[in-house]
Amino acid sequence: SQQGEEDPQALSIQEGENATMNCSYKTSINNLQWYRQNSGRGLVHLILIRSNEREKHSGRLRVTLDTSKKSSSLLITASRAADTASYFCATGNTGGFKTIFGAGTRLFVKA
Amino acid sequence: EPEVTQTPSHQVTQMGQEVILRCVPISNHLYFYWYRQILGQKVEFLVSFYNNEISEKSEIFDDQFSVERPDGSNFTLKIRSTKLEDSAMYFCASSEVGGVVQGGAFFGQGTRLTVV
């Protein structure tokens, strides 16, 4: 299995603070993605990082990938109440079509 | 901004009934997917579809499930005889290239299926 596993399972922070979520996976990957899901809603694609990349930025998001440790982190800087959601990492393997999701980190940003 | 559209947003059905979940992928996308998420659990891959055939499917996608692209715009998931454990949020997704290699997949808002 190449499931991504996020930690922590839940994270509660104050608005303005940074939030860091980690993801570990088991097998070789082609890419790793992070998604956000608001309660009961659809999945929103945040960022994709390829296996030959080490870091990627998008607005307040910073993603790192360490293929030697089979891990990734998602940093949300200057968090806002609207960032409250579940965040999932998902891995894609070479030649495959499916994306495997982890269980997610529930982030709660207090105003 | 283009988006994946799913209908209905919520469907309640009796056990044993057939249901069809509908999706309109983004128009220039060629790869289509169905995922499901049982309440409180992970998002699970069901099936991928390309060039009018199934590319890959998971062990969840048994003979009770089928997918179809009946015309140029719709992509459907049919569950022939629903079971209580089929209750979940079903997500449709599409991508421009296979394996979500380049830019990730775009997901719809989901259809919440409740089997009673």
Q: Which of A39, A49, A99 to mutate to test the interface with B (most CBs of B within 10 A)?
A: A99
The residue that leads in pLDDT, A40 or A54, is A54
Give the C-alpha distances (Å, rounded to integers) separating B10 from A80, A101, B42, B90.
30, 23, 19, 10
> What is the distance, to the nearest Å, from the Cα of residue B83 to the centroid of all Cα atoms in its chain?
17
DSSP B1: -
Partner A contacted by B42 (CB < 8 A): yes
The residue that leads in pLDDT, A64 or A94, is A64
**A26-43 per-position pLDDT tens digit:** 888 888 889 999 987 788
**Confidence class of residue B4 from pLDDT cuts 50, 70 and 90?**
very high
